[in-house]
Amino acid sequence: MQQKHEFSVGDRVEWLRTPRNALRGDYVVTGLLPTASDGYPQYRIRSDAEIADRMVSQNQICSRPVSEHANVFASPARRSVSL
C-alpha cells in the first residue's frame, strides 16, 4: 500500500541517518517525488549550508520543530531587520 506524502515543500525536517558526506542538522523539503517501489514517498531536501538537493525516503526523515531561534544562523539575505 502506498503512503501519502507526510511533508510539504518548505517543511523543516531532520535526516535521521545521514551518510558520511552529508551534513547533520536541519534540512528543508524542496520537492515531492513519486513513491518508490518500497511504498515510501520520496523527497528532495536541502541543508542551508549546501547548494545541492539530496533525495531521501519518508522513512529516513522526521519533522523538525520550529523554534524562535530557528533562523539564528540564517544568511543575511534571508533575515529581515526592522529599524
- CA-based diameter of the chain, in Å? 53
Q: What is the pLDDT of residue 59?
A: 93
Task: Kindly state whether residue 43 falls inside one of the protein's structural domains.
Answer: yes
Kindly state the average pLDDT of the residues 3-29.
Answer: 89
Q: What is the pLDDT of residue 67?
A: 59
Q: What is the pLDDT of residue 1?
A: 63
Spell out a b/e string for 25-39, using b for 16 or more CB atoms within 10 Å of the CB, else e.
Answer: ebbbbeeeeebeeee
Task: Kindly state whether residue 1 falls inside one of the protein's structural domains.
Answer: yes
Alpha carbon 62 to its chain's center: 9
Helix (H) or strand (E) holding 57: strand 54-57
Total number of domains in the chain:
1
Let me know: does 40 contact 59? Beta carbons within 8 Å.
yes
pLDDT at 37 over 80: yes
Q: What is the CATH number of the domain that holds 55?
A: 2.30.30.390
Give this prediction's pTM. Answer: 0.72
pLDDT digits (tens, 9 = 90+) for 39-83: 999 999 999 888 899 999 999 999 977 654 454 444 444 444 555
Domain boundaries, position 51: 1-65
